[in-house]
């Protein structure tokens, strides 16, 4: 009779072998829009993050990724890995494919570089981003109004130029191995004038350079010196020279570092978490006001606070905080796993088992690995059965 009970329990709670099909995380589609400003059709590769279709109330930052055809898949893949590692926030990525890069990405016209194509159309391309593309994206997708511009090489030059020309268009700027050599490093004069006039600039800037020399390297070094010699309230910048990477691969490495840098500065630090829920709420209200976007309390900070309560044997507070996370982030399997920890610590084993079942069910929809949840569930079930003998 006891063996029969075990078999029934195994079937009910899913411990008998089962198979599930892994799915690609996120979704990428190609969309064409017509630009009246550029007078041409523009192709976009749009990446929607993993939770976009299972969390219908969530809003997301947007990365506007230049050279989209070349960069969108390594960028979105890196982003998703960092998200799963809790080192970046999910984002919508708008990969903008090229038509006339030398025209769109250069701030000045120069006959010296006529062999690479037309030049000097950066201002017009900024108008396209501001007047057409961003409004279209904000209308079509659930955005939280935090925007990142990311470019590499010539589009890295454009990224930095956009910061100087229209700084309020984006909150963060990533420039990987930017072509600051363009037109005798004309960007440096533009930058010097810009920084002289700024008393406050609530923006993020990440710039890197690979193993390069000549005007590429000197432009990077001069721009770095210029930025670091200025004192602008609110402006966060980071420069990295990585000679282990070349011009092409530096964008891969830089993308990781830029996303981590942004995440670490946007999300609540440990000392604020230690002060409790009110301090965390106040932090995100300040972030919303400072950076002009809809900042909301993140999952990880409340999870951390819950485990601090659990470590201090304040189990009721831990349960309350973990329950809040399951309501705020009902699609996250891990939120239910944390709740199971608190229930188990409180001796509520059947509730813990139920929470782990939710975690397993949620994990298949969230498309995350669930072997740890299953192992925990199986072990807990055996304890419950053993105690009932």
Q: What is the DSSP string of 262-291?
A: HHHHHSPPHHHHTT-HHHHHHHHHHHHHHH
What whole-number distance in Å separates Cα of residue 67 and Cα of residue 205? 19
What whole-number distance in Å separates Cα of residue 388 and Cα of residue 380? 13
Average pLDDT over residues 61-72: 96
CB atoms under 10 Å from CB of 128, counted, come to 19
Task: Identify the burial level of 62 via C-beta atoms within 10 angstroms of its C-beta, where 0-12 means exposed, 13-18 middle and 19 or more buried.
Answer: buried
**Percentage, residues of the chain above pLDDT 70:** 94
Tokens of 70: 């070349």
Average pLDDT over residues 19-42: 89
Tokens of 372: 């740890």
Query: Would you state the pLDDT for residue 1?
Result: 42
Coil, strand, or helix at residue 356? helix
For the chain, list the strands marked E by DSSP. Answer: 27-35, 40-48, 60-65, 92-96, 143-152, 172-176, 204-209, 236-241
pLDDT tens across 135-182, in order? 999 999 999 999 999 999 999 999 999 999 999 999 999 999 999 999
Query: Would you state the pLDDT for residue 21?
Result: 58
Say what the pTM is. 0.93
Query: Would you state the pLDDT for residue 22?
Result: 66
Task: Output DSSP code: residue 111.
Answer: G
Would you say 28 and 47 are in contact if contact means Cβ atoms under 8 Å apart? yes
Query: Would you state the pLDDT for residue 114?
Result: 76
CB atoms under 10 Å from CB of 261, counted, come to 21
What whole-number distance in Å separates Cα of residue 203 and Cα of residue 209? 20
pLDDT tens across 334-371, in order? 999 999 999 999 999 999 999 999 999 999 999 999 99
β-pairing, 40-48 with 27-35? antiparallel
When the pLDDT of each residue in the chain is averaged and rounded to a whole number, the result is: 93
Chain center to CA of 238:
17
**Inter-axis angle of helices 349-366 and 371-388, nearest 10:** 160
Span 2-21+298-388 CATH architecture: Alpha Horseshoe (1.25)
Tokens of 296: 């909301």
Task: Output DSSP code: residue 131.
Answer: I
pLDDT tens across 303-332, in order? 999 999 999 999 999 999 999 999 999 999
Residue 4 binned pLDDT confidence (cut-offs 50, 70, 90):
very low
Contact partners, residue 197, CB within 8 Å, separation at least 6? none
Would you say 294 and 263 are in contact if contact means Cβ atoms under 8 Å apart? no
Query: Would you state the pLDDT for residue 111?
Result: 83
Residue 24 binned pLDDT confidence (cut-offs 50, 70, 90):
confident
pLDDT tens across 240-297, in order? 999 999 999 999 999 999 999 999 999 999 999 999 999 999 999 999 999 999 999 9
What whole-number distance in Å separates Cα of residue 265 and Cα of residue 160? 20
Query: Would you state the pLDDT for residue 245?
Result: 95
Average pLDDT over residues 62-76: 96
Least confident of 67-76, 84-93, 104-113: 104-113
What whole-number distance in Å separates Cα of residue 339 and Cα of residue 254? 36
Range 307-311 contact pairs with CB under 8 angstroms and sequence separation of 24 or more: 307/338, 307/341, 308/273, 308/274, 310/341, 310/342, 310/345
CB atoms under 10 Å from CB of 129, counted, come to 23
Enter the CATH code of domain 27-266.
3.40.50.1820
Task: Output DSSP code: residue 200.
Answer: B
What whole-number distance in Å separates Cα of residue 245 and Cα of residue 262? 22
Angle at 69 (CA atoms; ends 66, 74), nearest 5 degrees: 85
Question: Residue written as tokens 């494919």?
Answer: 97
Domain boundaries, the chain: 2-21+298-388, 27-266
Query: Would you state the pLDDT for residue 197?
Result: 85
Residue 6 binned pLDDT confidence (cut-offs 50, 70, 90):
very low
Contact partners, residue 124, CB within 8 Å, separation at least 6? 37, 38, 104
What whole-number distance in Å separates Cα of residue 96 and Cα of residue 44? 5
Query: Would you state the pLDDT for residue 117?
Result: 82
Would you say 150 and 256 are in contact if contact means Cβ atoms under 8 Å apart? no
63 φ, ψ to 5°? -100, 125
Query: Would you state the pLDDT for residue 11?
Result: 44
């Amino acid at each position: 009779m006891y063996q029969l009970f075990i078999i029934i329990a195994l079937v009910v709670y899913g411990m008998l072998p089962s198979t599930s099909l892994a799915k690609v995380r996120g979704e990428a589609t190609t969309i064409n829009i017509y630009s009246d400003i550029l007078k041409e059709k523009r192709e976009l590769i749009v990446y929607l993050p993993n939770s976009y279709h299972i969390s219908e109330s969530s809003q997301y930052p947007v990365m506007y990724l230049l050279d989209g055809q070349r960069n969108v898949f390594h960028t979105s893949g890196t982003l998703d890995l960092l998200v799963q590692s809790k080192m970046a926030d999910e984002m919508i990525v708008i990969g903008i494919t090229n038509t006339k890069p030398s025209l769109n990405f250069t701030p000045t016209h120069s006959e010296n570089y006529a062999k690479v194509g037309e030049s000097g159309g950066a201002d017009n391309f900024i108008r396209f981003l501001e007047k057409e593309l961003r409004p279209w994206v904000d209308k079509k997708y659930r955005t939280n109004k935090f925007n990142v511009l990311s470019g590499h090489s010539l589009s890295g030059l454009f990224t930095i130029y956009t910061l100087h020309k229209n700084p309020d268009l984006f909150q963060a700027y990533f420039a990987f191995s930017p072509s600051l050599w363009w037109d005798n490093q004309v960007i440096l004069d533009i930058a010097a004038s810009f920084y002289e006039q700024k008393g406050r600039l609530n923006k993020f800037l990440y710039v890197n350079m690979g193993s390069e020399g000549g005007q590429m390297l000197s432009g990077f070094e001069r721009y770095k010196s210029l930025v670091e010699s200025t004192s602008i309230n609110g402006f966060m910048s980071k420069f990295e020279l990585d000679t282990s990477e070349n011009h092409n691969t530096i964008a891969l490495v830089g993308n990781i570092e830029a996303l981590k840098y942004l995440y670490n500065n946007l999300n609540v630090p440990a000392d604020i978490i230690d002060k409790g829920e009110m301090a965390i709420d106040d932090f995100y209200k300040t972030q919303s006001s400072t950076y002009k976007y809809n900042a909301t309390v993140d999952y990880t900070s409340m999870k951390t606070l819950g485990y601090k309560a659990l470590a201090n044997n304040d189990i009721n507070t831990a349960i309350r905080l973990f329950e809040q996370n399951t309501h705020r982030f009902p699609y996250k399997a891990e939120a239910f796993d944390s709740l199971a920890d608190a229930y188990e610590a409180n001796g509520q084993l059947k509730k813990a088992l139920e929470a782990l079942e939710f975690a397993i069910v949620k994990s298949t929809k969230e498309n995350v690995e669930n072997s740890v949840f299953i192992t925990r569930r199986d072990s807990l079930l055996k304890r419950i059965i053993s105690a009932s003998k």
